[in-house]
A and B are shown apart, each in its own frame.
Chain A
């Protein structure tokens, strides 16, 4: 699994963090997405796909 985030598209909603807290975080100053792990273990796959699905800015792409 490979994750790509687009910080320019990100709107700082933090929905990805709610979905997968071990994989995503937000910058303290402006809330923009920070990728903690671009290749997380398979047992987090469902959470990561959920994060990509709920991102209101479509800023997360997951390649299996």
Chain B
């Protein structure tokens, strides 16, 4: 049962590791679009961007562990097509690679603003090369505008502020992460950023960029106001990287649609950010680091012959300034928020998110251990 893994990031590598851990000794091939050996993304917006970590520290595994896996890594070549019946992947360089099982782990592609492409000084942050390019420019710049009020935008704003830049965060929400965390916690995040000197220009849509001879110099809001910038980071979320699957016949709908076992078709699986699987009575797709590993483990088990449904307790964390936020389950702005431990004024607390009386999410602010202990309150949907 040879396995072909498309994607050499966390989900792809975790699939290989889980296969080997489970005793699979068959040939495994991994295709990666980038030239880099597998690296980790969460540090890119934090430790790597500010310079605390070098590139080597972002590696997912050292050479010794990678070679011990006995897998072939085909790097710097991207998948451009999939023949589902023959489980064959075509690559940009003309390779044709086949596996008894194929795992789709191509992740996400950053969204961009219309007109962003031709301008210097405008960045997204998805890859290591993106992060290195952004870091280089931040070191020279004095004013950065972050377009985006989600997790990534907030982390980049915090890091740039720590690097000493004047930072403005722009986005349509009233407070950072409000649609995920609701007004109470998002309000505290807004306070955290404001007290650290981040200028918040929230609640107004960004309509475009201004430039001087092809070099960005500002971000225009719907009100007509222009926020001056030496560098602009666009963090408007990301879309599943499925364009190479358009002609495959697989069902694509905000990701690769899979059954409860993360199977998109016979012998074809998906794991990580790109996978949208049948979870309870709806389709779910998660964009977080932990999901990449856990879903990969489930896919590996199912390739070997288990029939495991994938039923995770979603988890992610975000570190902004000195604040550590841990999130278990699926909080939402529509849920009722109650303090379960600690208190909001001391900025050390655990809150429960309840819908119809059930705890659907647990969020901790500077209380990681205590937050984990509240996981048991999460009731499966």
A residues lining the B interface (CB < 8 Å): 11-15, 17-18, 26-28, 30-32, 49, 53-54, 56-58
Contacts and interface: CB of A to CB of B under 8 A. Distances in A.
Interface residues of B, number: 26
Given A53-B21, A53-B297, A13 B290 contact: yes
Given A53-B17, A56-B293, A11 B317 contact: yes
Contact of B372 (A17, A49, A54, A58): A17
B294 A54 contact: yes
A58 B370 CA distance: 22
A12 B324 CA distance: 9
Nearest to B59: A58
A15 B368 contact: no
B21 A31 contact: no
B369 interface: yes
Contact of A31 (B290, B293, B368): B368
Given A12-B368, A56-B317, 5 more contacts: A14-B372, A18-B372, A26-B368, A31-B372, A56-B289
Nearest to A54: B293
B23 to A, nearest CB: 13
Contacts of A31: 324, 326, 367-369, 371-372
Interface in B199-213: none
Contact of A13 (B17, B60, B317, B367): B317
A12 B315 contact: no
B215 to A, nearest CB: 36
Interface in B14-28: 14, 17-18, 21
Contacts of A12: 317, 324, 326, 368-369
Nearest to A28: B369
Interface in B25-42: 40, 42
Interface string B314-333: 01010100001010000000
A54 B21 contact: no
Interface string B267-300: 0000000000000000000000110011001000
Contacts of A54: 290, 293-294, 297
Interface string B110-125: 0000000000000000
B61 A58 contact: yes
A27 B290 contact: no
A14 B14 contact: no
Contacts of A58: 40, 60-61
Nearest to B58: A58
A44 to B, nearest CB: 16
Interface centre among A11, A17, A26 (most CB of B within 10 A): A11
Contacts of B315: 13, 15
Contacts of B319: 11
Nearest to B294: A54
